[in-house]
Every structure is written in structure tokens, then in C-alpha cells.
A and B are shown apart, each in its own frame.
Chain A
Amino acid sequence: MTEEVQPPDLDARSIGARRLHPWSPVIDLAVWLTRLWPPLLLVASRPNGRLLVVAVLLVVLVVRAVAWWRTTWTYDGDELTVASGVWNRTVRRVPVARLQQVEVVRKLRHQLFGVATVRLQLAHDGDGGDVVLEVLSVADADRLRNGLERRRRAVSFGDDAVAHVPAPPAHELLRLGPRLLALGGLTGASLLLVPTGMVALLSTLDDLGLGDDAEDLAGRLPAVGGAVIAVLLAVAAAPTLMVVRFHGFRLARRTTDLVLERGVFERRSSTVPLARLQLVRLHRNLVRRWLHLGSVDLATSGRATAEGTGSADDAVPVARWHDVLAVAEVALAPRRLVVADRRAVPAATRRLVRRRTLVAVVLTGWVPFVWAPATVGVGAFVALVIVVARAAGRARRHGIGAELVVVETGLIVWTRTFVPLDRVQSWRITESPFQRRAGLSTVSIHLAGTSGRRTVRVVDASSAQRDALLVAIEQRRSG
């Protein structure tokens, strides 16, 4: 956790008007082809179809080439300006002060052509959204990113001179090896594949009617083997995907930013300004808890994108628990981490147990009337639901500090969320009639961003807990 890494020293106080990389039309055409190849193949199989397909491809290439010719970008040290459009010209100006996150992405196609995409996340979700320079040379992408980061640092320090100083070396916080990533893949959401795969396997064995006689078993051995291999492949898919997606994962801190790098086929390098961080969320399921592993989400107010890059969510996919805590500490510094020392009141646990029991009874209570032998199984299931609900109720905790609120929820998948009080945008208290009767309420804390994950809830808080939370929020504001 102490290695010093020197970033490339590229002078980019300003960059004059430039076009995207000349490979841009070809890459656009390749993307277009990956989406529309089935109808094109269909057309090509008809008489004179190939000629038509070639003509269409040429037209697309020319259109993209004209679009490339008419797209320019400029960085003047304060604003990035992107002008585009063939007939209708659009000029977007992005002040550096409004940037939430800067990402340089190199998908496989970019790596093949030696180019990169620069994605600038903004804090709004209105027209346009993020600014994406799809195809830049790697040098231009690095120059632009470094220039933007220098300027943003100057803005945060309130000192123009900082913009003329090369970025200081990054302090490495975490590096993930393939073994840990594979373990993370195996212990993550893919755990769900194991029971699903087992059910599929048992169902296959049942369909094959094994157990009737030994000859039958020998005859159907290939089918059984195939089913077992399919299950194993399904279980192995998640660790493989995890290793491919996060290969070379590195998290570093450079002055006021966190820098994340990862990926094989899609190399991604994200810069997350700490000043833009809205919340830090730690996760671990029962298996990861047993193995002392966990994961971290770092959420800024940028949009969550379809590509899953939004705001560095899933920032650290898996790490040793002490590393997870260290990342949270660095991300939230100089605030001191708070302990979740306020348990849910007994009335809250009772309400949770009642609600979950009701759902279990409604879902399964009719089964014994239809099939009497299931009575014991249904009874055991409802009893299990009650036990798990009681444990989940006891696992609900929160803590209040001078600068942070921490909320813990979940039993099978446990989550700890740190909310900096100075980031709270608004709050809301809701009470259902049943909550009112039990003297409980739900406090929702809203943070900047468009995703529902930017709302943190303390469910079934007692009136004293609710008041303490609101006092902490308002005191932080007054202080």
C-alpha cells in the first residue's frame, strides 16, 4: 500500500481546436456493423445483395467521415468546448469546475486501433448528459485528462499556480491480483448460480430416470457428465469474468483524487475527485464475511451509465476487509469513521418479523390445504423466516458522528454506508399507520445524483433516533 507511481508528465494547460482521431469513422462503422450485422447478412445472401451491402457501408462511412470532419474540441484551461453536427451545429461548453469524474476507456476496438475514449461525467441528468470524446489518440486523451485534473486541483486549492505544476505522484492504496479477483467472482453474485445449477443438475438426473438399473446408468453417463460440466462452467463463468473485467486493478490516491485502473479487453482509468464523493458503501455477504473479504462503492453525483461505469460504483469489487476499511478511511478523510452503535429498537425488530412472517404465510400458507404432506416443510420454512427476520432486525444499526452518519443493514448481504453530513441535499421522514402506532418512522437522506442508490434510509427509527439524526444533519449545516 505504499508504492509511489509517477503519472506521465504531459503539459496541457490548453489544447487548441482539434478533431477526433482519423480512425473515428472506421471505428464508428465497426460499431454500426456489430449492431446491424444480422439484417446485413440477410441482405447479402440475396442476389446482388453484396453490392447493396457494400454501398450501404460506403454511405455510412462517408456520413461518419463528414461527422468526424465537423466535430472539433478545444480545451482553454477553464472550459472544454465540443462543437459537432453536420447541419445542426451544437456547441457544448463544460466548465472544469462542474466535472464529477474523468474517465479514459480503451475497449478492445480502441486498443486495436491505438486510440481511447474520454468520458467526462457531469452532475446533471438533463439534455446531453456526459460529454464523450469517443475516439482520441492515447496521447491526446492523456494530455486532456491531465490538463483537466490540474485545472480542477487548482480550482479546489483556490490557487492558479497549481494548474502549472505537474501532477504529484500517486500513492497506491490497493492492487488486486487474479487469485483474489477469482475468489471475489466465486463469492459474489455467482453464488446464486450454485443452487440454480444444482437444481438444474438434479432435475436433469431426475429426467434421465437414473437408479433403475446399472446398464441404464452406463448408457446415460455422457448426458450426466454433460450436465455436470455445464454446471461447473456456469459456476466458473463468474470468476473468469471478474478476472477479465478487473485484471490489473489498481487504486491510488493523487492529492485530492482517487485514480482507478482496471480491465483487459476494456482498459478503464477513472479519476474520482474526493470532493465530489457523496457516499461510501461497503458490502459483504456471509461467505465473504467468513473469508474476511468485502467490496466498496464510491458514489459521486455523476450519472450511472448503461455501461456500469457510473460514478465509480463497484469501485473495489473485492478486497481483504482491512483494505476495504483503509479505502473507506482514505476516501472519507479527513472525516473520522463512525461506529454504528445505535441498534434498532425492539419495536422495529418486531415489525420486521411480523412483516416477513406475513409475507411467508401469504406465499406458502395455502400449500398444506392443497398438499397435506407439505405441512411440516411449510412450518419449518415460516420458522426459518422468523429466525432470519429477527437476526436481520438485530443487524440494523446506525451511528452518528460530527461529520458522518453510518447505516448498517442486511444479514445475508450486509451493507455499511457512510454518508458525509455536509453532502446531504435534503431529508424526508415517512410514517405508515403501523409505524405511527409503534412510534417508528423511516428517515430518508437524499444525496446528489440521479440513482436511487444516492438515497440512504434508516428504516423504523424510534422518535429519539430520528430526532438525533435530524439534529446531526442540521448542526453540521449550522456549524
Chain B
Amino acid sequence: MTDRIEPPTAGAPAPDAAAWQPLHPAATRIWRIASVPWVLLPGLGAVVVVVLVVGSPLVTSLVAVTAAIASGIAWWYPALQTRHWRYRIGDEALELRHGVWWRSSAAVPFHRIQQIDVEQGPVQRRHDVVSLRLRTAAAFTVGTVPHLAAADAELVRTRLLAAARAAVAHDDGH
């Protein structure tokens, strides 16, 4: 991951700047940590309640199978999510593509970038990854790149800031 994005160089963009980049491989694990407990624990709770209250082996097995399937999906889905997440720094915009079931592609033009935030939660700290959040004047702009290697994120941020400055200078020149 760290060799995919070159540091910004004066004048010329890095050769692979326009290539679609994947997220850090740890993204899958982080998403699993965030989703599996929320499915598994209520599922186990439901099984215990059914055993104590209903007591029917058939109902118990149905609930247990449902909980197991839901937990399996919660485990398997983040891998797909990571596989489908791509971003790239285009000529005029940061472009994002993601989504397994509902696919989404978005573009945030450089000249509209107002602010770039770097966010890191405790699990992300453990894996040395961060999320980059781009803000424009529109509240509904979706400009978050989750789970980038911290070193990559710094390079991406620097490149985006340089691109935003250049775009604004270009606009002012007109």
C-alpha cells in the first residue's frame, strides 16, 4: 500500500496518481470488529432468551441458525466491502467508488474542497490506519476515504491540498 502513492513532487504528478487505489487490507478486520459483535451478541442473547422462555428445541434451533447466518454475513460482508472500495486522485477531482449491493461512485472537485480532516479511532490506531474526510460547502457531499495507511493518508492529504490550491488559483486567474 505504501508504495502505491508517490510523495508530491514539484510540477509533475506521481505516475500512478490517477490509478484506482484500494483501501488498507486492515479495513476488513476493522469493519468486522465494528459489525460482528453487534450481530453476534444480540443473536446469542436471543438464543438464551428462547431457551429460557420458550424451551422449544425447534424454535431454539431456528433462532440459533438465524443468528449464525447473520453473524456469518457480518463476517463475510466487510471483505466484499473492502474489495469494492476504490479511490483515485483524478485530474480535477477526488473520485470514490464503493458499495457491494448498492454501488456508489462520487467525485469531489478539488476547487470545492473546504477542509480535510484526518480521523483515527482506537481500533484504527492499533492498525496504524486513518480515515480522510473531505468537506465541501455542501453538507451532503460524501467525501470520506476510510482506513488508509497513515503514511499514505498524509501523502494523499498533501496532494489534495496542493491540487485544491492549484484549482483555486486557476479559478482566480479566470
Q: Which of A431-479 contact B (CB under 8 A)?
A: 431-433, 436, 444, 446-452, 454-455, 474, 477-478
- Contact digits for A236-258, partner B, Cβ 8 Å, 1 yes 0 no: 00000000000000000000000
A-chain residues with CB within 8 Å of residue B92 when the two chains form the complex:
474, 477-478
Number of interface residues, chain A, beta carbon within 8 A: 27
Q: Which residue of A lies closest to B171 (CB)?
A: A477
Q: Which of A41-49, A267-275, A403-411, A420-428 faces chain B?
A: A420-428
Q: Give the complex CA separation of A428 and B143 in angstroms.
A: 10
- Whether a CB of chain B sits under 8 angstroms from the CB of A430 is yes
Cβ-neighbour of B136 out of A425, A432, A436, A452 (below 8 A): A425
Q: Which residue of B lies closest to A474 (CB)?
A: B92
Number of interface residues, chain B, beta carbon within 8 A: 22
Chain B CB within 10 Å — which of A426, A432, A449, A451 has the most? A426
A-B pair count, CB < 8 Å, reads 70
Q: Give the complex CA separation of A425 and B92 in angstroms.
A: 12
Check A428/B111 contact, CB under 8 A, given A446-B140, A448-B137, A452-B140. Answer: no
Cβ-neighbour of A450 out of B93, B111, B139, B143 (below 8 A): B139
- Contact digits for A202-216, partner B, Cβ 8 Å, 1 yes 0 no: 000000000000000
- Contact digits for B87-101, partner A, Cβ 8 Å, 1 yes 0 no: 000001100000101
Q: Give the complex CA separation of A412 and B163 in angstroms.
A: 46
Chain B CB within 10 Å — which of A430, A432, A436 has the most? A430
Instruction: State whether A426 touches B139 (Cβ < 8 A).
Output: no
Instruction: State whether A426 touches B109 (Cβ < 8 A).
Output: yes
Instruction: State whether A449 touches B104 (Cβ < 8 A).
Output: no
Q: Give the complex CA separation of A123 and B112 in angstroms.
A: 14
* Chain A interface residues toward B at CB < 8 A: 123, 125, 301, 424-433, 436, 444, 446-452, 454-455, 474, 477-478
25 contacts between A and B (CB under 8 A): A424-B109, A425-B136, A426-B106, A426-B112, A426-B136, A426-B138, A427-B107, A428-B105, A428-B107, A429-B106, A430-B103, A431-B102, A431-B104, A432-B101, A432-B102, A436-B103, A448-B137, A448-B138, A449-B137, A450-B139, A454-B138, A454-B140, A455-B138, A477-B109, A477-B111
